[in-house]
Structure 1
Amino acid sequence: MNVLICDDEWRVTEQVSELLQKHCAENGMQVRFHLFDDPCAIKDLAGYDIAILDIDMGDFSGIDLAWRLRKEKPGIVIIFLTNFIQYAPEGFEVQAFRYLLKTNMQERLVPYFEDAVKEVVRKKQIITISVNSELIDIPVNHILYLESNLRIVIMHLIHDERTEYRFYGNMTDLSEKLEDLGFLRIQKSFLVNMEYIEQMQYEKVHLRGGIVLPSSAKSHKELKQHYLKWRGKNRWAIS
């Protein structure tokens, strides 16, 4: 696992690295840390799994760097460090995983890093489907949602060369396998990746890309509670 640390104060960059290297050594984690105090010096933007970035770095902000990283590697997990709470909305725009005030770094950096590692592992998980007797591996974070039509399952994809796969399958079995990976069965025929839910309304769910799917009115309260619980554990937070 490769971790990028970038802060225009080298002292802070080293402090973050020392805290996390100590944690990784104590827990037997194989992690490579790449330290920079100049965002313009970073070349291999697609080579990192986690990025820990200062937001305010002069002319080239951490937000600018985050957009570039996100473009090269959509699944990168980003933690912002800052002294200024007012930058929080900008972090939300670039899908930051966590937002950490530097005054709380000693207490919160390691727990946030552990959460980020779990998110990287989750994003790297794959499921295998059989299409015309060919076994195909699909990264879980490439699945937008699954749709069933009789015995045919249509897997709709995002961040992939293909837009969908069709295969024989059972939605109940798929739901049981994918529930722990962040999927929610919003209706008998639809299983959605909660990472891409933008809004949950009564009887419908809005997904990234302007997709709107029907959801169960009878189970609306339960579905929303399940989603909010997942979101609280996995989405952007400030501390």
Structure 2
Amino acid sequence: MDYNIHEFSSGKELLRNYPKNLDILIIDIQMEILNGMDTSRKIREFDENLEIIFMTSFPEFMQEGYEVKAYRYILKPINEKKITKNILPCIDEIMKKRNNYLTIKVKNYVDRIKIDSIIYIETDRPNIVIYTHDNTYTTKMSISKIEKILSEFGFFRCHNSYIINLKLVQSMNGNSVVINGKSIPVSKYRVKGLKLAITNILGDIIC
């Protein structure tokens, strides 16, 4: 596999010389002038696909990480084992995303949806409605069936009527979760499982 590594001395330098088709960004939260979190917020204004891995000594930044859809947090001190543990799964996920599509029947034709583009899914019996960044699809399928299909791709059924993309969770408050600006209910008996699923997605910071 071919790859390029870019190094930047600051958040401002990164933003000024942002590489084309960047896949993974490993960034320290503590930086002068423009910290890693603020740099990531600016990047999210124009790049939704980048996977961001934060390095930090402060676990309290985890909540802010929801805003920028962080892939993982690596707690300092940093060593080769921690880097490998977090980067290799990230590379695997990127490769899977490039090749994984959901094939559904919409009315009289068949459509293919890029799985990574799905924000959340809602029941509208006997159909389900699939919301993506660019479109909305209605297809006749049970939510239980699509839950089984998407479970290995970082999706979680937070309510009898909803499945969400964990990587797009912005915040969680009581019995609801905000994803892509929309508040979605969370069943009280699924709260613990959702927190655990988010922990597994975010990595070391709360493991």
Tell me which interval the TM-score lies in, with the shorter structure as reference length.
0.7 to 0.9
Corresponding residue number in structure 1 for 2:22: 48
Decide which of 98, 105, 109 is 1:130's aligned counterpart: 105
8 Å contact 1:200–1:206 — kept in the other structure? yes
RMSD of aligned residue pairs (Cα, Å): 3.2
Higher alpha-carbon Rg: 1
SS at match of 1:67: helix
Is 1:112 equivalent to 2:102 in the alignment? no
Q: Percent identity?
A: 21
In 2 relative to 1, CA 130–32 (structure 1 residues): closer, same or farther, beyond 3 Å?
farther
Structure 2 spans left out of the alignment, 5+ residues? none
Give secondary structure in 1 for the equivalent of 2:79.
helix
Query: TM-score when scaled to structure 1?
Result: 0.66
Mapped partners of 1:90, 1:66: distance in 2: 14
Instruction: Report the CA distance between 1:123 and its aligned residue.
Output: 4.7
2:52 maps to 1:81: no
1:192–1:116: structure 2 CA closer, same or farther, 3 Å change rule? same
Cα distance between partner residues in 2 of 1:59 and 1:76? 23
Matching residue's letter, 1:230? A
Q: May I ask how many residue pairs the two structures share in their alignment?
A: 200
Cα deviation digits, residues 19-74 of structure 1 (max 9, x gap): xxxxxxxxxx4433223335426534552110012334433433343223222221
Encode CA deviations 1:97-126: one digit per residue, 9 max, x unaligned: 333355322331111212322443455433
Check the 8 A contact 1:199/1:205 in 2, yes or no: yes
Q: How does 1:92-103 map to 2 (within 5 A)?
A: 92=65, 93-101=67-75, 103=77
2:35 is equivalent to residue 61 of structure 1? yes
Q: In the alignment, which residue of structure 1 is the partner of 2:172? A: 199
1:177 offset after TM fit, Å?
0.8
Residue of 120, 136, 139 corresponding to 1:145: 120
Per-residue CA distance 1:171-208 (angstroms, 9 max, x = gap): 2221211122222334443333333453375xx53332
Q: Residue 46 of structure 1 contacts residue 69 of structure 1 at CA under 8 Å; is this kept in 2? A: no
Higher relative contact order (CA 8 A, sep 6+): 2
Hey, what's the Cα distance between the residues in 2 that align with 1:155 and 1:47?
Answer: 27
Aligned residues of 1:77 and 1:119 also touching (Cα < 8 A): no
Stretches of structure 1 that go unaligned for 5 or more consecutive residues are: 1-28
